[in-house]
Structure 1
Amino acid sequence: TVNLCADLEFPAYLLGLETAQLAKKLTSRVLDSKWGARSESIEVQQNVEQANYIRDAWAKALYTRIFDRLVDIINNAMQTTVVELNVGILDIYGFEIFQRNGFEQFCINYVNEKLQQIFIELTLKAEQEEYVQEGIQWKAIDYFNNKIVCDLIESKVPPGVFSVLDDICATMHATGEGVDVQLCQKLSHQVGNHPHFQLSGGTGFAVHHYAGKVTYDANGMCEKNRDVLFPDVVLVMQSSSNAFIKSLFPENVTGTVKGRPTTAGSKIKSQANKLVEALMKCTPHYIRCIKPNETKKAHDWEEDRVKHQVEYLGLKENVRVRRAGFAYRRVFDKFLHRYAVLTKETFPQWRGNIKEGILHILNSVGMDKDQYQLGKTKVFIKAPESLFLLEEMRERRYDQHARVIQKAFKKYFARQQYLKQKQKAADILQGRKERRHHSLNRNFVGDYIGLDHHPELRVLVGKRERVEFAETVLKYDRRFKPVKRDLILTPKSLFLIGREKIKKGNDKGKIKEVIKRKIDLENISQVTTSTRQDDFLVLQVRNEYDTFIESVFKTEFLFMLDKKVREKCQRPLNLQFSDKMEYRVKKEGIFGGGSTKQVHVTQGHSNEAVLKVTAGVLNISIGPGLPKNSRPSERSASSGPRPVKVSTSRTQQQPSGNKLKEHNGRGRTVTTAASARTPNAALAAVIGARAGAGAGNAMRHAPNLPRTSHSQHKRVSTEENGPSDYMRPPEAGVSGEKRKNSRKARPVPGGGKPKPPSRPKPAVPTCKALYAYEPQDTDELAVGEGDIIEILKEDPSGWWLGRLRGKEGLFPANYVERI
């Protein structure tokens, strides 16, 4: 009986039951019996121990069914009607071996034993059976199959441990006193002779699991195994006024005769078998977790514990089977489809026997015959390194194909960009300036200096600064004297770089590069050029002096300058065209003032400009070019300019001081007013004009490199109607005949001596790296400590050009020492 019914009021309220109804089912149960065709129900009162069993089973049933309902709700919410592949993660406790092991450890170890059996079936046993089915020659590996342990625990015929435990629980009545001893006695009778079972004392037994021997305490096992949820309890819950509680008990228990109530052990066994059935439908991948200590601290390693886990987790057998077997296997058609790209015979399609195609692929990569075998339907590869070889060669082949595609696309894209650039550049000069024959259809290169070979220039500009255009130009001073300057255009500024001789210090007398002028793009107010085909430009700078230059690649320079000004200043370049130009020159000294110089461009007869200074004015005469409305062709030029190939030693040619005649490197002549009045100077001007005309025609075929005047002067013959008699050479005579005969019989070179060996090539200077250096740019070398580097060029800037492992690049000089 229940002494305090008030204690049941709140639980009854939560369950939607009457208090008396709840008290009755806790203290009594309905026993159904059948005699022949008659059945009878008898209400039996329970003692305190039996009432506790009913209470515990009732609470466990509520908890279990609510938990299952939550799982169902979550699964239904995540369920989708789309057919898809699923990846599931099963996280479960490993084998538990404590100082005292009870019913809970027995159930957990049983589930782990079942999972270990799947592991054996799917890895060790299945792999060896696959080799036999495919006819593969290999050495069999012995392993322990734990099916005998699983049968000891779950078997029904002959009865296993769970079956014996359920029988003992079914015979328990009013009291459970002595049932644990009875369990051990019955286990000894039923499974005592099993090789993996042994008794341990009066109330204990041991099972030899796959993980090792585990001793279990039988005290309390029968009590924990009982799950006495009688049918009349289910009927009471189905009469609840709470719809949710009522839905937790949907089973039909209204039959005339009820079966034996389920136990915790039978439920564990049923759920384990369902889990195994679900896993066998999947492709499991195992992650074995090893517990290195019991302290849960880092760097605490118990070697014996780790070795034991490695052994009972089956890792040793798995490794042995993998070593004796093959690491990779694939059906013929999938293997051929994946690696057909390795040979031209199998790609894109192999039309012969599939095995012959696979053998052809394996032989083409040079794989040893002991590294693979062909079965009936699959190819087996032994070592992972052999598989890595196939994968690496496959990636290389796809990389080659990708490079071909990239090359074709980049070539097409670059061609389109060239065409667009030429058209945009033509728009700048359209209708306002005559064009040169050789420059109308040429491609744009950008770097005509070769900055990759000149780190000293990159240091001045800034190694991180992008160079949009680079060219060696002629810059004219206040006396119209030309001097070479390296013009470099970046997204922010325009640089004019020259050379100076060091006057003091250890490097006295050496030539170094210096920035002669830096002009920010926003300060360029105007650029002026003539309407003729000449190459002269005036860069007018806001609030400063101007710069007068001559640029062979003026069209490309103006195009890039206009583009960068638009990007930086959000305005177009102010470009003016006039045959009469003025530019301001730099002040001389402290008290000197800046003056203005004038340049007049007139029409001449030569394709190359002829410069003449008269009364402080520079007169430039040049022949007519292509019409102002000329445009480049729609297709790219067949032979455009190539990037300038600059030697590693860069010398500066300084112009002479007061020479009357100076060659500017483009086949034209600059004369002063005094020299122009002399007959010799006039004759030199005519010869220079003719040479310029010849150079202009030659430039059509190679517009990228300007011709020099030394190779363009035509020979002027002094003879008109043939030489006079007194100018002819004398007759040879007898001596001439002897000389002629002596030339026919030539002696053996060197008097018959063997040819001396050729002189050995001079050794390349080398240096040793003192420190490691990680490259910061693509043109730098990755240097490790102790590397031996060949020195190709030493530069005063501190960045040397060298060669390491066949690769050329820059490296810091203070990181190495010369050998």
Structure 2
Amino acid sequence: MTNNVRCIKPNENQAPGEWNSSSVIEQVKYLGLVANIEVRKAGFVYRREFAKFLSRYAILTKQTWPKWNGKVTDGVMHIVDTMHLDRREVQLGNTKVFIKSPESLHILEDMRLRKFDNYARIIQRAMKRFCAVRVYQKQREQATDILYGRKERNARSLDRDYVGDYCNLHQRPDLQRLIPRSEKTDFSSYLYKYDRRFRRQGRYFISTNQALYIIDEECVKVGSGGKSNSSAVQKNKQPDGYTIEYKIKRRIPLETINEIKMSEYRDNFFLICVNNDYATLLELSSKTEAVSIILKNYLKKTNRVLPITFGQGFDYAVKKQSWIGSGTRSVKFSHAATAALMNQIDPKKLRKGVDMPRDYDVKINRNTMTVMVSSGLPKQSRPNQTNAEKPRGLQFKSTNNSSSRKPPTKPPRPLAAKPTKQKKLRALYDFQARSADELSFATDNELLLIDNSDETWWKAELDGKTGVVPSNYVELIV
């Protein structure tokens, strides 16, 4: 671009800071600077060689990135047409491309920056996903070491992926506001807490680097001044004129925990014992993940290892009430035949993703609860490392010298794919669907298994209809 330099005399007195406007305007007109600017505006403000233009803006289209196969001028015009630039704003010379208005150039630059920003975000997401997978794989290995040789394992939970946030707290500000901002949330899930009468109560469980939170949801009437109606929440209904509110039922600081107790069988129970206070009996399908996070945070908080004991039962103290007083409760575990285990929860009341069918039986006799559990995997079981060891992402091959390269051979014709045998399920009990995505079936019906990645609800097909079924109502046909 040509640079024109002109000298303007501001005044006749040779005094600094003095400006004679009429004299300056007369000089500008005499030198023709206004006409020069008008000519420049009417001309082309940007000019660049074809190869350099194509190299700079090739990322804007898939056809020109990473390399354009064809004439350079065709690649330049392909970019112009793809960006919907006016042909009157762009002209091709012998060796350069000319762009008339600055707005057209700004469009190209903005789109180029957006492309780089988009690709940078894709790389960031992939790297974060890769790091998260490694963290959860390491966490799963550490959790396996905690239970190795001490507790029977569940085949459905041994190889599952660890998620951490099962409540999607980033989409639940109503739950987030209950946790102080100074605390980091490492685990959240919906579980069941047992009271002094062994009644099963649904609760939200959140584990942070400072404490454990047990949160209840209550159905509060609008304008009632805090009066709640928890029965409507337990039925998973919200009557008109009511709103759902969340309340912290118990906060357990990590330093006050003195022990965690679990059974030797494949059940989902674990007991949190607190110093000079009552214990809390919980039932959680992802208990291994939760306990491993509690142990890790406890070690960071107190610089001590939290004891965890395994046995065929345990006794614990319940909460003291003013008119009842404190007391002790006992929980015993024993093996039972799988066919004798019948889910005590009505399947019509199960909430997908929240409630999970139980594959063990519970009997209550006053202050003692007996849990009969079917046999699980051996205590020495470990997760399958096949998927973890499989290389992920791009695979780069080492290149040899060009002199030692051989001409590529013609690949063999692909063999015909062998038909895969689809797994089948046999219904153990009758099940009546309560929603559109559930599948009804009767005892001894045979279903086609589509997906069993979820622990509690499997996707299956029956008579051309597809839906989800409770996993403990069916068995896999070998």
1:546 is matched with 279
One-letter identity of the residue aligned with 2:9: A
Deviations 1:504-546 (A, max 9, x none): 7367554532111001111111111011111111101112111
Which of these residues, 320, 323, 330, is aligned with residue 38 of structure 2?
A: 320
Which of these residues, 619, 624, 643, is aligned with residue 370 of structure 2?
A: 619
- Cα 1:303–1:475 shift into 2, 3 Å: farther
Deviations 1:424-459 (A, max 9, x none): 111111111111010000001112223344322122
Return the alpha-carbon distance in structure 1 between the equivalents of residues 224 and 258 of structure 2: 40
> Aligned to 2:178, what secondary structure does the other structure show?
helix
Distance apart, 1:711 and its partner CA: 8.9
The answer to whether structure 1 residue 457 and structure 2 residue 175 are counterparts is yes
> Aligned to 1:457, what secondary structure does the other structure show?
helix
Distance apart, 1:367 and its partner CA: 0.9
Identity %: 38
Return the alpha-carbon distance in structure 1 between the equivalents of residues 83 and 119 of structure 2: 18
- Cα 1:400–1:562 shift into 2, 3 Å: same
The answer to whether structure 1 residue 481 and structure 2 residue 199 are counterparts is yes
The answer to whether structure 1 residue 599 and structure 2 residue 331 are counterparts is yes
1:505 is matched with 224
> Aligned to 1:555, what secondary structure does the other structure show?
helix
The answer to whether structure 1 residue 631 and structure 2 residue 429 are counterparts is no
1:349 is matched with 67
Deviations 1:233-273 (A, max 9, x none): xxxxxxxxxxxxxxxxxxxxxxxxxxxxxxxxxxxxxxxxx
The answer on whether the counterparts of 1:529 and 1:578 sit within 8 Å (CA) in structure 2 is: yes
Deviations 1:365-406 (A, max 9, x none): 111111122222222111111111111222233334334444
One-letter identity of the residue aligned with 1:355: T
One-letter identity of the residue aligned with 2:80: L
1:372 is matched with 90
Deviations 1:19-51 (A, max 9, x none): xxxxxxxxxxxxxxxxxxxxxxxxxxxxxxxxx
The answer on whether the counterparts of 1:365 and 1:390 sit within 8 Å (CA) in structure 2 is: yes
1:446 is matched with 164
1:578 is matched with 311
Distance apart, 1:321 and its partner CA: 3.8
Distance apart, 1:407 and its partner CA: 4.4
Return the alpha-carbon distance in structure 2 between the equivalents of residues 441 and 712 of structure 1: 18
> Aligned to 1:428, what secondary structure does the other structure show?
helix
1:362 is matched with 80
Which of these residues, 55, 73, 84, is aligned with residue 337 of structure 1?
A: 55
> Aligned to 1:478, what secondary structure does the other structure show?
coil
Return the alpha-carbon distance in structure 1 between the equivalents of residues 181 and 142 of structure 2: 29
Distance apart, 1:702 and its partner CA: 3.9
Return the alpha-carbon distance in structure 2 between the equivalents of residues 333 and 517 of structure 1: 68
Alignment of 1:391-470 (within 5 A): 391-462=109-180, 465-470=183-188
Give unmatched runs, 5+ long, in structure 2. Answer: 230-241, 342-358, 390-427, 429-441, 459-467
TM-score by structure 1 length?
A: 0.42
- Cα 1:318–1:527 shift into 2, 3 Å: farther
Which of these residues, 2, 5, 9, is aligned with residue 211 of structure 1?
A: 9
1:384 is matched with 102
Alignment of 1:244-263 (within 5 A): none
Deviations 1:659-687 (A, max 9, x none): xxxxxxxx9xxxxxxxxxxxxxxxxxxxx
Distance apart, 1:470 and its partner CA: 1.1
How many residue pairs match? The answer is 375
Deviations 1:697-735 (A, max 9, x none): x99924344699999668xxxxxxxxxxxxxxxxxxxxx
Give unmatched runs, 5+ long, in structure 1. Answer: 1-120, 125-144, 147-208, 217-290, 295-300, 639-666, 668-690, 715-819
Return the alpha-carbon distance in structure 2 between the equivalents of residues 464 and 305 of structure 1: 68
The answer on whether the counterparts of 1:529 and 1:536 sit within 8 Å (CA) in structure 2 is: yes
Greater fraction of residues in strand: 2
- Cα 1:700–1:584 shift into 2, 3 Å: farther
Return the alpha-carbon distance in structure 1 between the equivalents of residues 93 and 214 of structure 2: 74
Return the alpha-carbon distance in structure 2 between the equivalents of residues 309 and 484 of structure 1: 87
One-letter identity of the residue aligned with 1:560: I
Return the alpha-carbon distance in structure 1 between the equivalents of residues 196 and 469 of structure 2: 24
Deviations 1:93-137 (A, max 9, x none): xxxxxxxxxxxxxxxxxxxxxxxxxxxx9424xxxxxxxxxxxxx
Deviations 1:337-360 (A, max 9, x none): 111222233222234322222122
Return the alpha-carbon distance in structure 2 between the equivalents of residues 474 and 604 of structure 1: 22
Alignment of 1:5-44 (within 5 A): none
One-letter identity of the residue aligned with 2:119: H
- Cα 1:637–1:474 shift into 2, 3 Å: farther
Distance apart, 1:501 and its partner CA: 5.0
Return the alpha-carbon distance in structure 1 between the equivalents of residues 450 and 303 of structure 2: 37
One-letter identity of the residue aligned with 1:211: K
TM-score by structure 2 length?
A: 0.69
The answer on whether the counterparts of 1:444 and 1:556 sit within 8 Å (CA) in structure 2 is: yes
One-letter identity of the residue aligned with 1:565: Y
Which of these residues, 239, 244, 257, is aligned with residue 524 of structure 1?
A: 257
Return the alpha-carbon distance in structure 2 between the equivalents of residues 505 and 443 of structure 1: 44
The answer on whether the counterparts of 2:260 and 2:270 sit within 8 Å (CA) in structure 1 is: yes
The answer on whether the counterparts of 1:443 and 1:637 sit within 8 Å (CA) in structure 2 is: no
One-letter identity of the residue aligned with 1:599: V
Q: Which structure's CA Rg is the greater one?
A: 1
- Cα 1:528–1:400 shift into 2, 3 Å: same
- Cα 1:212–1:474 shift into 2, 3 Å: closer
The answer to whether structure 1 residue 123 and structure 2 residue 28 are counterparts is no
Alignment of 1:105-144 (within 5 A): 122-124=2-4
1:84 is matched with none
One-letter identity of the residue aligned with 2:110: E
Identify the structure with bigger relative contact order (alpha carbons < 8 Å, sequence gap 6+).
Answer: 2
1:701 is matched with 452
Return the alpha-carbon distance in structure 1 between the equivalents of residues 48 and 149 of structure 2: 70
Return the alpha-carbon distance in structure 2 between the equivalents of residues 381 and 318 of structure 1: 19
The answer on whether the counterparts of 1:371 and 1:383 sit within 8 Å (CA) in structure 2 is: yes
Distance apart, 1:594 and its partner CA: 1.7
> Aligned to 2:252, what secondary structure does the other structure show?
strand
The answer on whether the counterparts of 2:456 and 2:470 sit within 8 Å (CA) in structure 1 is: no
Deviations 1:548-603 (A, max 9, x none): 1111110110111112212222223321111121111111106x532121111111
1:589 is matched with 322
Distance apart, 1:214 and its partner CA: 4.3
Return the alpha-carbon distance in structure 1 between the equivalents of residues 52 and 214 of structure 2: 63
The answer on whether the counterparts of 1:565 and 1:571 sit within 8 Å (CA) in structure 2 is: yes
Distance apart, 1:413 and its partner CA: 3.1
The answer on whether the counterparts of 1:438 and 1:700 sit within 8 Å (CA) in structure 2 is: no
Moved more, 359-368 or 547-556: 359-368
Deviations 1:610-650 (A, max 9, x none): 11123521111101111111111114489xxxxxxxxxxxx
CA RMSD of aligned residues (A): 3.7
Distance apart, 1:303 and its partner CA: 7.1
- Cα 1:712–1:558 shift into 2, 3 Å: closer
Alignment of 1:181-192 (within 5 A): none
> Aligned to 2:84, what secondary structure does the other structure show?
coil
> Aligned to 1:439, what secondary structure does the other structure show?
helix
The answer on whether the counterparts of 2:299 and 2:306 sit within 8 Å (CA) in structure 1 is: yes
The answer on whether the counterparts of 1:431 and 1:629 sit within 8 Å (CA) in structure 2 is: yes
